[in-house]
Amino acid sequence: MTNKTLINRDLQTIWHPCTQMKDHESLPLIPIKRGDGVWLEDFQSRRYLDAISSWWVNIFGHCNPRINQRIKQQLDTLEHVILAGFSHEPAIELAERLVQITPEKLKRCFFADNGSSAVEVALKMSFHYWHNKGQKKKTRFVNLSNSYHGETLGALAAGDVALYKDTYAPLLMEMITVPSPDCYKRKEGVSCEQHSRIMFAHMREVLEQQHEEICAVIIEPLVQCAGNMRMYDPVYLTLLRAACDEFDVHLIVDEIAAGFGRTGTLFACEQAGISPDLMCLSKGLTGGYLPLSVTLSTDEIYQAFYDDYENLTAFLHSHSFTGNPLGCSAALATLDIFAEDRIIENNKILAQKMQTSTAILSDHPHVAEIRQTGMILAIEMVKNKNTKEAYPWQQRRGLKVYQHALDNQVLLRPLGNVIYFMPPYVITEDEIELMAKVAIEGIEIATGK
Ligand SMILES: *Cc1c(COP(=O)(O)O)cnc(C)c1O
C-alpha cells in the first residue's frame, strides 16, 4: 500500500469534514498508517508530530498502551448495549467518577456520543427544565460573539463563527449574542482581567433586561478555541455565575475542548471557582479514542424531570450509541492516567516550555500576540503589528504554515492566521522545540511577502 493508491481511492468516495474538496487537487491528502505517542506515520514512512491532538481530542498519545489494554478487555466482554432500561459497569463507574471530579453541584450524567449532541442535550434540558417548572416564557439562549459549540443545527445556532454559521442562518434559532470578553481586543494598558470585567457589563445588561425570557447562557470557559483561540480572564466566569444566580438563568459551560487539563486545571471552571448548572464534556473524555460525550447536570435540574410518567415531564432524548461501553472504558483508562500520573503538574512544565520556545516571536513584525492558557498556545499573524490589521483571509497565509510544517514533520492546522499548539500531554520538551522551530520558520515564510 502506498500513499498514492490510498489517496486515489479516498478521493473517489470520501467527502472530508470541514474541507473544500477542490483544495485536494493541489494539497495532498495524507493517509495515516499508524500512530505512536505524539507521532503519526504515513505509508511512505514519513512522520508527523500531532501538534493539534488530532482536532483537540487526543491527550495521552496515539495507541497509548494503558487505554488500548482497557478497550481490548472491554471488547471481549461487552461491545455495546442499549442504555434505556439497561445499564453496564463502565457507564456506572464513569458516571460516579465524573460526578466526583467535576464541580460540586454537578450530580447527574446524561451520555451522548459527540460534542455537538452534548450541547443539544444541555440546551434542551435547560429549556425543558423551565417548561416543567411552568416558566413558559423562557425560550431563549445567550451566547458570546465568536463562540463555537458544534455543527448540528442547535449547536451551530448556539455558536457565532460566521464561516460555519452564516450560510445556514435561515435554519437556525436566534440567539441573544453578547460581545465576547476576548482579551485580544483590549485597549492598550488595560489588563485582561480589567477587560473581562469591562466586557461583562454587556452580559449583565442583557440578563437584567431579558432574564424573563432567557433559559441559559452558554459559554466556552477561558478559551474560544474554534474562534481562533481567543482567551479571556476567569473573573468573567465568576461574575457570570453570580449574575446567572441573581437573575434565575442557567449557566451551561461547554468544556468539550477546554476540559481534561487543557487549560491548566482539570476543568477550566476550577480557575473561576464556579459550578455550572450544566456542563458538556467530550473530546479528551476518552483520551481522544472513541466518540463519547456527557452532559452533567445539577440535582435540581434532574428533579424537575422526575415525576409520574403520565405527567409527561421526562427527558425523552436519546442517541443510539449513548454511553457505549468501549467509549466508557477508554474514558475510565483516561481518568486512571490522570489519577496515577502527575499530569496537571507535568503540564505546567510543558506549557512553560511552549512559552519559552516561541518567545522570540514576540518581537516579530507580523505577530500581534502570543497568548497562552495552559496547554494551548496561539500566535496571531497580522499584516500590521501596530494596528493589528489582519491579513486578508483570501491570502490563506495560515495554509502556508500548514504546508511548511507538513514538509518538516509537524502537523499544525492554523485557524485562519492563527497558528496554535494544542499537543497531547505526552509530548517531550525536545518535541516541543521541534514543533516551535517549525512553526517559527513557517511564520517567517508565510509573512515574507
Ligand atoms: C469540538 C467542539 C464541539 C463539538 O464537538 P463535536 O464532537 O465535534 O460535535 C462543541 N464545543 C466545543 C467548545 C468544541 O470545541
pLDDT digits (tens, 9 = 90+) for 333-362: 999 999 999 999 999 999 999 999 999 999
Element (H, E) at 120: helix 115-132
For residues 421-427, give the mean pLDDT. Answer: 98
Contact (CB, 8 A) for 152 and 114: no
Distance 190 CA to ligand 1 centre (A): 31
Give the residue from 231, 238, 219 showing the smallest Cα distance to 191.
Answer: 231
Distance 115 CA to ligand 1 centre (A): 5
Q: Is 367 in the pocket of ligand 1 (CB under 6 A)?
A: no
For residues 33-59, give the mean pLDDT. Answer: 98
Q: Which residue's CA is the nearest one to ligand 1's atom 3?
A: 150
Distance 56 CA to ligand 1 centre (A): 9
Q: Is 226 in the pocket of ligand 1 (CB under 6 A)?
A: yes
DSSP structure class, residue 216: E
pLDDT, tens only, 312-336: 999 999 999 999 999 999 999 999 9
Which of these CATH numbers, 1.10.238.10, 3.40.640.10, 2.40.30.10, 3.40.50.1580, describes 68-340?
Answer: 3.40.640.10
Please report which confidence band the pLDDT of residue 1 belongs to, taking 50, 70 and 90 as the band edges.
Answer: confident
Query: Full-prediction pTM beyond 0.85?
Result: yes
The pLDDT mean for the chain works out to: 98
Which of these CATH numbers, 3.30.70.2190, 3.90.1150.10, 3.40.50.10860, 3.40.462.40, describes 31-63+342-446?
Answer: 3.90.1150.10
Contact (CB, 8 A) for 139 and 127: yes
Contact (CB, 8 A) for 98 and 111: no
The answer to whether 31-63+342-446 and 68-340 have equal CATH topology is no
Query: Please, which residues bridge with residue 111 across strands?
Result: 294
Q: Is 147 in the pocket of ligand 1 (CB under 6 A)?
A: no
Distance 76 CA to ligand 1 centre (A): 30
User: For residue 94, what are the CA distances in angstroms to 110, 194, 323?
Assistant: 11, 39, 10
Domain ranges across the chain: 31-63+342-446, 68-340
CA distance 147 to 127: 20
Pocket test residue of 111, 147, 148 for ligand 1, highest count of atoms within 8 A of CB? 148
What SS3 state is found at 36?
A: strand
Judging by DSSP bridges, how do beta strands 376-381 and 278-281 pair with one another? unpaired
Residue 222 CA to chain centroid, in angstroms? 11
Which atom of ligand 1 is least distant from the CA of 282? 7
Distance 387 CA to ligand 1 centre (A): 32
pLDDT, tens only, 78-103: 999 999 999 999 999 999 999 999 99
Judging by DSSP bridges, how do beta strands 367-373 and 410-411 pair with one another? unpaired
Instruction: Scan for cell 522551530, then name that residue.
Output: 437
Side by side, the strands of the sheet bearing 176-178 are 106-112, 293-298, 278-281, 250-254, 214-219, 140-144, 176-178
What SS3 state is found at 203?
A: helix
Which atom of ligand 1 is least distant from the CA of 254? 13
Alpha helical stretches, state H, 14-64: 53-56
Judging by DSSP bridges, how do beta strands 293-298 and 106-112 pair with one another? antiparallel
CA distance 332 to 285: 9
Return the pLDDT at 243: 98
For residues 391-411, give the mean pLDDT. Answer: 97
Q: Is 255 in the pocket of ligand 1 (CB under 6 A)?
A: no
Residue 123 CA to chain centroid, in angstroms? 17
